[in-house]
Structure 1
Amino acid sequence: MTQNRAVFVGSYAPKEEEGIHLFQFDQAEGRLKRVGGVAGVANPSFLTVDAARNRVYAVSETGDGAVVSLRYDLEQGTMEEVNRQSTLGADPCYVVVDASGDYLLLVNYSSGSICVYPITAEGAIGSMSDQVQHVGNGVRADRQETPHPHSIKQIPGTSYFLVADLGLDQVVTYELTSDGKLIERSIAHVTPGSGPRHLDFHPEAPYVYVIYELTSEVEVFEIDREQGKLTAVQKLSTLAPGFQGESYCAEITVSASGNVVYGSNRGEDSLAVFTVQHPGELKYAGLVATEGNIPRHFTLVPDAPYILAANQNSDSMLVIRLNPEGMPEATTDRVEVTKPVCLQVL
């Protein structure tokens, strides 16, 4: 097992402050140590890492949105900007690199669009190759007055991408062409007012798990890999039985084994845990408190029994040890970070 791993952290920090942080995670001790950071990007909330090119890509979640490429050096603990591009939209909140490494894709939450950019061999972001605009609204006037795409993620082993649109109550399937264009292939219409936010895939079987921000639920869909269509299978609450407060879901992640699904609750301030009876059926197995306020994002550490969770409103990151069955067992470390939003483990 690799002793140490690099962890990149995005946050809601002003341009003048170091908003992208580099930590080292000691897997033997379950401890985080900050080794560097970089300023110059306003609200670098969501990140994705391109290890092949030593690049981290960050959105600048502002009204005049941007996406930034940064070169990192793990030995020196440094990051420096390579270049940036406008997102031609407001509040980009999610960014990924496609499986080929040729394209960067992101969503603009407030202006309701999806963007595609080519990536150069040196890891710079090229000029936008496509932008798709969502239109319409949902049933909740307070949160669904316009389209709000919140995430985009590639269906493994295909050229299809799923976009969860919180404002439209839709999960839209797009195909990414070889010249960097998006073609709509299918739309899954979910329960009105649910607000699909993030999603993750079973590592082997053709299933995707979608978490709903507004109703605190997770829904299981079977994937038609040939056409990218989704078929609803099961839906469960993420909240503990009897919980009476206000809570909104955020992140969802599937374990590498495919045996456990985790989802974060902001308000209950917990990680809900579901055991996978088979890929199309989940069972609520309990929760673990994140010991902080508003766990916006979390990640599993590859090949190590830990979850790292970001508590946005209490300025902390928590390390949680997992038992062999993937159930949360104990807290091993806590570090302070101002308004952490996204964690990416290299």
Structure 2
Amino acid sequence: MKKLLTLTVTICTWLAIYSQNTYVFLGSFNRDKTTEGIYVYQLDPNSGNLSKITTVKNILNPSYLTVSPNGKYIFACTESKTKNAGSVSSFEFKPEDKALVYINSQKSGGENPVYLTVHKNGKWLVNGNYTEGSVSVYPISENGTIQPFVQSFQFTEGSIHPERQDRSHIHSTVFSPDFDYLFLPDLGADKIRTYHFDSGKTEPLQAAEKPFTPTPLGSGPRHFTFHPNGKFAYCIDELTGTVDVYTYKNGQLNSIQRINTHSEKYKDNFESSDIHISPDGQYLYASNRGSENNIAIFSIHDDGKLETVGYQSTKGKHPRVFAIDPTGNFLIATNAVSGDVVVFKRNFKTGLLKKVGKKLKIKNVSCVQIKKY
């Protein structure tokens, strides 16, 4: 009887796992609306191979993507790196039809949109514009339509780097774990800007008690993430190749550590880019472009501080964005310059990565998001 019960539980577990599908959404700088810009693949939970589901044309430079909490809608930064332009666009994902269907677009409120995020209630979209250093907030209708922005804040001050910090450059827009605050790493001003977010108001961005957290001069804060326990936050600095570690509480950050993302043999030419934490909260990963083209791996101690574990080549050039799947089994990196997508298997005990599956060739691939359905 016990063997039969065990077999039944095993079968039920197997069915639960394999009745779910994991989809991978890839954005790119396609430079030409007549060519494919967004790609959708399905991730094999055994081999790590990616199988093409569909692609989208007639959209220019969908360089960064985000997925709605219910997985029904995909939002993209579009017309990125096009002079005097920029937009955000919405698509409906229909897995049963293997289709990604365009819904609408709105002006980004600034030149060169680079990052967007959706509130947990699915009713608000927030976009960061790099070149003009601004943030825009949009209501989202129930059918996934993006409404015109209701708020747009422009920032102007820069910092000490003569070429990269002549003015403000918002590089990401990240909600706090409770979605009551919004954090905006400003690469140009060496600040992590903070706003209170009241989703019940028609203009949800409100001044925070502490409007920003300064980062070291010349650091260039880029991407930002929270630990699953909500007690710690981590910011990757593009210009100095470092990760800043903070304790977090009620919209306020307190610095506790700064650690290099690069190995000792690399002394300059830092271009650190993306940062993510494994779902179990045990390991942090940070990507380095420039001459390194790798992912730095850190273990996370109970006090939130980091310890370097090692480095993994991304098997390509310029790993702009990477993502970890919801199970924590796989990490997928996008190499923008070499134009390829590489899947790595994560070792849960050591945090180390091993390449699996087949490398995809996608010209100017720039972003990846992963969602289980």
TM category (shorter chain) comes to: over 0.9
Amino acid of the residue matched to residue 235 of structure 1? Answer: R
RMSD between superposed Cα atoms in Å: 1.4
Q: Does 1:261 pair with 2:284?
A: yes
Structure 1 range deviating more: 87-96 or 241-250: 241-250
- In structure 1, the partner of 2:255 is 232
Measured in 2, the distance between the counterparts of 1:104 and 1:53 equals: 14
User: How has the CA–CA distance of structure 1 residues 199 and 331 changed in structure 2, closer, same or farther, with 3 Å as cutoff?
Assistant: same
1:277 Cα shift? Answer: 1.4
Tell me what 2:369 maps to: 344
2:9 maps to what in 1? none
Partner of 1:157: 178
Matching of residue 305 in structure 1 with residue 329 in structure 2: yes
- Out of 319, 342, 365, the position equivalent to 1:318 is 342
The equivalences for 1:104-115 within 5 A come to: 104-115=125-136
TM-score, reference length from structure 2:
0.89
Contact 1:27–1:304 (CA under 8 A) maintained in structure 2:
no
- Matched-pair contact (CA < 8 Å) for 1:202–1:279: no
Partner of 1:272: 296
**Identity of matched residues, %:** 31
1:245 deviates by: 5.3
Answer yes or no: is 1:11 the counterpart of 2:11: no
- Contact 2:279–2:328, Cα closer than 8 Å, also in 1: no
The structure in which a higher percent of residues are strand is 1
Query: What residue identity is the alignment partner of 1:58?
Result: A
Q: d(CA) in 2 for partners of 1:144 and 1:183?
A: 26
- Deviation per CA, 1:158-189, whole angstroms, max 9, x where unpaired? 41010000000000111122223312312101
Q: Would the aligned equivalents of 2:323 and 2:332 in 1 still touch at CA under 8 Å?
A: yes
**Distance of 2:142 and 2:329 partners within structure 1:** 35
Give SS of 1:149's match: coil
1:199 aligns with 2:204: no
Contact 1:205 1:279 in 2 (8 A): no
Name the CA shift for 1:25/1:279 in 2 (closer, same or farther; >3 Å): farther
Task: Work out the CA distance in 2 between the residues paired with 1:57 and 1:258.
Answer: 27
Letter in 2 for 1:300: I
Q: Which amino acid aligns with 2:324?
A: L
Q: Distance in 1 between matches of 2:48 and 2:285?
A: 19
Q: Work out which of the residue numbers 104, 117, 122 in structure 2 matches 1:101.
A: 122
- Paired residue for 2:50, among 16, 26, 32? 32
Q: Offset at 1:104? A: 0.3
* Preserved CA contact (<8 Å) 2:169 2:189: yes
Corresponding residue number in structure 1 for 2:38: 20
| Equivalent residues, number | 344
Instruction: Determine if contact 2:219/2:239 at 8 Å carries over to the other structure.
Output: yes
Measure the CA separation in 1 of the matches of 2:110 and 2:263. 37
Q: 2:88 aligns with which of 67, 76, 80?
A: 67
Q: Structure 1-normalised TM-score?
A: 0.96
Retained in 1: the 8 A contact 2:69–2:122? no
Tell which structure's C-alpha radius of gyration is larger: 2
SS at 2:262's partner residue?
coil
Which of 112-121 and 173-182 deviates more? Answer: 173-182
Shift of residue 4, structure 1, vs aligned partner = 3.6
Contact 2:310 2:352 (C-alpha < 8 Å) held by counterparts: no
SS of the equivalent of 1:310 reads strand
Structure 1: distance between partners of 2:256 and 2:350:
24
Aligned equivalent of 1:78 = 99
Distance 1:28 1:105, change over 3 A: same
From 296, 303, 310, the counterpart of 1:286 = 310
Task: Tell me, in whole angstroms, the C-alpha distance in 1 between the residues paired with 2:88 and 2:152.
Answer: 14
1:226-261 residue CA offsets vs partner (Å, 9 max, x unmatched): xx1111110000011222452310000011111100
The reply to whether residue 296 of structure 1 matches residue 320 of structure 2 is: yes
Q: Note the residue ranges of structure 1 that are not aligned, 5 or more in a row.
A: none
In the aligned structure 2, how far is the partner of 1:263 from the partner of 1:184? 30
Q: 1:127 to 1:335 in 2, by over 3 A?
A: same
Letter in 2 for 1:113: S
Shift of 1:107: 0.6
The 8 Å contact of residues 294 and 311 in structure 2, kept in 1 or not, is answered as yes
Assess if the C-alpha contact under 8 Å between 1:129 and 1:180 holds in 2: yes
Letter in 2 for 1:123: G
Give the whole-Å Cα distance in 2 for the aligned partners of 1:326 and 1:102.
39
1:248 maps onto 2:271 in alignment:
yes
Measured after TM superposition, the shift of residue 51 of structure 1 is: 5.0
CA distance in 1, matches of 2:258, 2:328: 29
